[in-house]
Structure 1
């Protein structure tokens, strides 16, 4: 099995209490991830300017850990930018923020992720317009990411966080409507547990559109701390020849270090690498 391990690191104070495993010190977090044997990290940063890319590269190299992805969520959480904004100027700012994250991630052969920045319909934006604005941004970002040889990653979210795409099927339909083929889906098992009738079947239906996995249990705690049935999920990932990352985007429960340890134990068990 070629799936690789990954753990999230958040540097965004406004997101404290959210579903990110490691926090605060990039140096300590990358070092701890390496100590536990993680292949990669996924970083949630306030902005590109908040990351010293040379320093980051040095930390990754010295730890022997890769950068899997950079999240764009701070664009919404910190800067209140979203891709379905009624204001065209704000939408342009949001797309520019996404491109800046793509450029930073691309230097490491890593992907950028669009989740909460997708926005939602409501108020001055009807559902069709919101979806069209999102599609336009995915076209822009997917084409921009192509120069780095990596896809842009788009994440369907549960109904409490967006009304754009909530299921894998809706995400696939959106991707198939694009002219670029350089956008893939992030399938987050927590969101899927809420929205999908059968998580494993949804992954099978996603097929080669599945580009990244958030490896988390039903209650958004680390894998093994909820009621998710992982056997069928792992069988589905094998069936679609998924060889990307299983990335822990989970609450740091009961604390960040134990959450990271528990995820690694679960990763090793389910991939047969213990």
Structure 2
């Protein structure tokens, strides 16, 4: 497995010094960058040992994924800009989580929402295919959104499309918040395109904490047992990378080391 941290480019050197394999950047933030800023980011990535694996926190709230205001035209414009930016920076994944863009009003027709989600992902898939980029739908949790929340929901959506470059982000934080079973991951391990990890602590979403190491161990052992050997990003919302990145990486590396000793 290779490990990353979701943060902004200002923390690049921190991740490089700690030995992370990659950085995961915010797609919404990338969309605000000028051409000059994009060139600066590319130079940082090109000159250093840490690559950009992809984007999280991707879709602006002004671009609904489903629900009122959904627009194929807005979706297409967003897809073009994000896919070009990802290709420019050498990223291979674009995650589609963005709970603020996936909240349905009460009584919204679910069949219509399903159709909109399929349109959204198809538009992104077609644009991304030009650059060999994967589009990864992220299951969320009931505290953040109300559409296509669980791993099973996401799997059903991805299967209904059957597109070669559309898969899923598997997120431990959402799994635990929803009370889902890790056994659900065995329904289709090939659908796991990327992994996120974070921890709820005092109502905040932070990076990994040592007192929950057994939970992370069960999760990573399950993934490896299913044959997953891809990318794993720590995705905190609260706290500073400078305070969290080193401990999180040490925890993950320790768990992988224990797994290897058992082989």
Same fold flag (TM > 0.5): yes
Q: Secondary structure at the match of 2:60?
A: helix
- Count of residues in Structure 1 that have an aligned counterpart in Structure 2: 250
Match of 2:5 in 1: 7
Please identify, of 219-228 and 170-179, the stretch whose mean Cα deviation from structure 2 is larger. Answer: 219-228
1:172-217 CA distance string (max 9 Å, x none): 111010142311111111111012432x313223401011111222
Q: Offset at 1:40?
A: 0.4
Q: 2:243 aligns with which of 258, 267, 273?
A: 258
Match of 2:80 in 1: 99
Answer whether contact 1:109 1:149 (CA < 8 A) is retained.
no
1:270 aligns with 2:252: no
Q: 1:127 aligns with which of 106, 110, 114?
A: 110
Q: Secondary structure at the match of 1:261?
A: helix
Q: Offset at 1:218?
A: 4.2
Please give the TM-score of this superposition, normalised by the length of structure 1. 0.82
Point out the structure with the larger helix share.
2
1:48-103 CA distance string (max 9 Å, x none): 34153322121012221110112353512xxx3212142354x5213421331122
1:202 aligns with 2:184: yes
Please identify, of 189-198 and 30-39, the stretch whose mean Cα deviation from structure 2 is larger. Answer: 189-198
Match of 1:235 in 2: 221
User: Partners of 2:78 and 2:136 in 1: how far apart?
Assistant: 15
Q: Offset at 1:230?
A: 2.1
Answer whether contact 1:109 1:148 (CA < 8 A) is retained.
no
1:214 aligns with 2:196: yes
Q: Cα 1:56–1:47, aligned 2, differ >3 Å: closer, same or farther?
A: closer
Please give the TM-score of this superposition, normalised by the length of structure 2. 0.85
User: Partners of 2:23 and 2:135 in 1: how far apart?
Assistant: 17
Q: 1:35 aligns with which of 2, 11, 17?
A: 17
Q: Offset at 1:5?
A: 0.8
User: Partners of 1:47 and 1:266 in 2: how far apart?
Assistant: 29
Q: Cα 1:33–1:260, aligned 2, differ >3 Å: closer, same or farther?
A: same
Match of 1:189 in 2: 172
Unaligned runs of 5+ in 2: none
Match of 1:19 in 2: none
Unaligned runs of 5+ in 1: 11-25
Segments of 4+ in structure 1 off by > 4 A? none
Q: Secondary structure at the match of 1:83?
A: coil
Q: Cα 1:85–1:226, aligned 2, differ >3 Å: closer, same or farther?
A: farther
Provide the alpha-carbon RMSD of the alignment: 2.4
Q: Offset at 1:270?
A: 1.5
Answer whether contact 2:194 2:231 (CA < 8 A) is retained.
yes
